[in-house]
Each structure stands twice: as C-alpha cells, then as structure tokens.
Amino acid sequence: MTRSDISEFLFPGQLTRYAGASGDVGDLLCARGVPTGAICVVADSIVHANGLTADLLEGLAKAGYEPQVFADVIGEPDVDVVTRAAVAAAATNPVAFVGIGGGSALDTVKLVAYSVASGTPLRDLKGPAPLVPGLGPLVMVPTTVGTGAEATRVAMFAVDGAKRAVLSRQFVPELAVLDDALVQRLPAPVVAATALDALAHSVESMMSSTSNELTWFFSGEAARRIFAALPAGHKGDPKARSELLYASFLAGVSLNAGVVLGHSLSYVLAARHHLPHGVGCAIALPYCLAYNQTMSARDGKSLAESVLGQSDATLRDVAEAVRALTELVDLPTDLDAYGTAAEEIPFLAQSVVRDYPRPTNPVPLESVRLGVLLEHLRTGDLRGAWTAMGELA
C-alpha cells in the first residue's frame, strides 16, 4: 500500500455541530426515520448530575421518544458497569442508543448496543468483534475534548483490571453531535488531559504504518488546532473550548489509522498508577516520538511540518513542543510524583510488548530498548531518551 491508497475510511453517518445541538437529537432521529419508542441513554454520572443531559432528554421527549437513562458511568468503564447497563437496556427494547459524556460513557453505549443486538457476554469481547444484524442506531454526544470516540470503531473497557479494546465498524455512529455548550464548564484538569489524549491520537496515527493521505489530513488539522487552542481553552475561553471539541473529533477521525506505541505505554503506566487515560498519553507521547525517531526520514519531516505548521520543524521539535504544552497545562511529564521504582522498569517494558503489541508502529517493539526508554521516561529525561534511542537504533 502507498500513502495515497485507502483501503477503508470510516466516518459517522452524520455530523452535527453547533451550541445547543444536543437538544435537537430527538428531531435528528425523527428526520433519519427512527420510529418512536424507548431510547437507551447512557450518561456519565457527573454530566447527568450537572444537568448537561437536560436538553437532550427534553428534546427526545418532545420528538415523541421515551428516554430510559442509565447514568451510573463513573470514570472509565469495567465489565460490571457495562453489563448492568446492557441488562437495563435490553429490558426496554430500545429503538436507538445515545451516549452522552466523555469516552467512558461513549464506549459504554457502544458495548451496550453490541450486547443488546448480539446477546454476546461482554467478557467474551476482545479485539475485532463479529458483525451483528440490527445493531443501533448509535448517537454520540461527547462532553470532553479528548477521545473522539464519536468518530471511531473502538470501544475500551476493563476486564479483571486490564484495559481491552473491542473493534467494530458498527461502533462508528449514525450521528455524532458536537454541542459546544456541553464543554464550557469542563474542569481545567479534564480539558488538559483529554485535549492531550486527542493530540496523541493525531500524532500517533501519523506514525502508524496504516496511515494514508486522508488520515494525515485529519491528524494535521487536529494537532495544529490543539496546539493553538489548548492554552486559552484550559483557562476557560469559550471559543477555544469549542475549537478543542472540534479538534478532538478530527483526531478521532484520524484514528482510522489507529494509535501506536504511545498508547501502549500509556495503558501500562495508567494501570500501574491509576492515571486518567489522557495523563498517561501526555507523558508517553514525547517518548513515543523518541523511540520512533528512526522512522522514514521523509515521513518524520512531513509529520513535524504538519503538526507544528513550520517548514523546518523536526520530530525532536514535536516532542519538545508536546512536553512544553503538557507543562503549560499543569500535567506531569515524568513519573516522579508516582514513585515508580527503577526495579519495576523491566516488568513494565515486557508488559508493553506482551499486552499491547503494535504491529503498525514504524519501529518494532523490543523490550530491552523499551526498558531504556521507560527508565528515561521515569525521570523525565527526554534529551537522554533521544540520544539513547538514536544510539540503540
């Protein structure tokens, strides 16, 4: 395959973006021919408690639907919460499934819809899931500026403490609704972590061997917008927040190419230290770039130019810029605060290779080289990591 070949590019059936759009989901479903009946609404618990589901629910009722709310999604979902939601949903025979919240609620509703349509026990789902007739329709209303789950074929959940990805083209929703009003009161630390997750999606997907011209287009757009908007968005600027919501969607579309080593590192670090997903991704991204510095020189140069919007930028500049942005929004850039011991590093490196292999990473994952990388990450020595990864190439 060359960069201009595209084997498959998925995009939501419809994108709707304006302040207040969540109140119009009922009308949008009517317009798409969804018959009246029960609607399974899976909501993040804080989002629901803060009243951010009110417009959605009112609009659904006005359009003649009966919303049935499951609002027990508290943090990143595990198999138990998803199973409870699926059992509740199945009892109401829903005509559509709506997720409202961050990636946690959106991933939950994807898995709920899959379970209701297939009857498959959720514990059995891992990796690519078989197609099932009659899944959905799915509607996704994000309230964080991070995962882009409203554009992806991925659903993440934890089983026995380990993070799992389930993949299905049927998880790309019929309707993605970006309502700027929902992210205006998002706490600053959540803005920081989730926007850096989106930045990791855009930059990592550019390194993936399955990327193509179109995924690069979305990646570059997303990354430049996040660099430009995050400082003001973090402080609460309404336009910048709207921009970040849009950029996280664009980065979600770039995930047609998938993520690479940075997300594997972040899953292992997050499991060890209970870090929010975006915090692990932000710490890992500069080191992912260091590891992959030997990717094709032409691709590395165009990645750097596209992400930073400067013609003479290098991959190293991207890593430094990501780190500076992470510091600017008050997130950690090393593991100092978490007390990772040097003796743990070989185990963590092996876990990256064994539990989260990345055949699409441009440089093969090797546990010895990853151990050296992780030792530099532990202490925040990006310069040392860059030199060591260059020498070990």
Ligand X SMILES: NC(=O)c1ccc[n+]([C@@H]2O[C@H](COP(=O)([O-])OP(=O)(O)OC[C@H]3O[C@@H](n4cnc5c(N)ncnc54)[C@H](O)[C@@H]3O)[C@@H](O)[C@H]2O)c1
Partner in contact with 155, chosen from Fe ion, ligand X, none, beta carbon below 5 to 8 Å by kind: ligand X
CB atoms inside a 10 Å sphere around CB 88: 16
The least distance separating ligand X from the CB of residue 60, rounded to whole angstroms, comes to 19
- The residue within the footprint of ligand X, chosen from 83, 104, 168, 208 (CB under 6 A), is 104
Dist. CA 148–CA 155, nearest whole Å: 11
Contact letters (x/-) for ligand X, 119-158, by CB under 6 A? ------------------------xx-xx-x--x-xxx--
Which residue, 197 or 299, is less far from Fe ion as judged by CB? 197
Partner in contact with 244, chosen from Fe ion, ligand X, none, beta carbon below 5 to 8 Å by kind: none
197 is a contact residue toward Fe ion (CB under 5 A): yes
Amino acid at 47: V
CB atoms inside a 10 Å sphere around CB 356: 19
47 is a contact residue toward ligand X (CB under 6 A): yes
Range 53-82, binding ligand X (CB under 6 A):
75-76
202 is a contact residue toward ligand X (CB under 6 A): no
373 is a contact residue toward ligand X (CB under 6 A): no
Partner in contact with 94, chosen from ligand X, Fe ion, none, beta carbon below 5 to 8 Å by kind: none
Structure tokens at 315: 């991959």
* Bond before 357 cis per omega within 30 degrees: no
Question: Which residue number places its CB atom closest to Fe ion?
Answer: 197
321 is a contact residue toward ligand X (CB under 6 A): no
Dist. CA 5–CA 229, nearest whole Å: 32
Give the torsion sign (CA, 211, 12, 107, 24): positive
* H helices present in the chain, as ranges: 25-31, 45-49, 54-62, 79-90, 103-118, 188-207, 213-235, 238-254, 261-273, 277-291, 297-308, 315-328, 345-355, 367-379, 382-391
Dist. CA 265–CA 340, nearest whole Å: 14
The least distance separating Fe ion from the CB of residue 44, rounded to whole angstroms, comes to 17
The residues that touch ligand X, with contacts defined as CB under 6 A, are 44, 46-47, 50, 52, 75-76, 101-105, 107, 143-144, 146-147, 149, 152, 154-156, 182-183, 185-187, 190, 194, 197, 255, 277-278
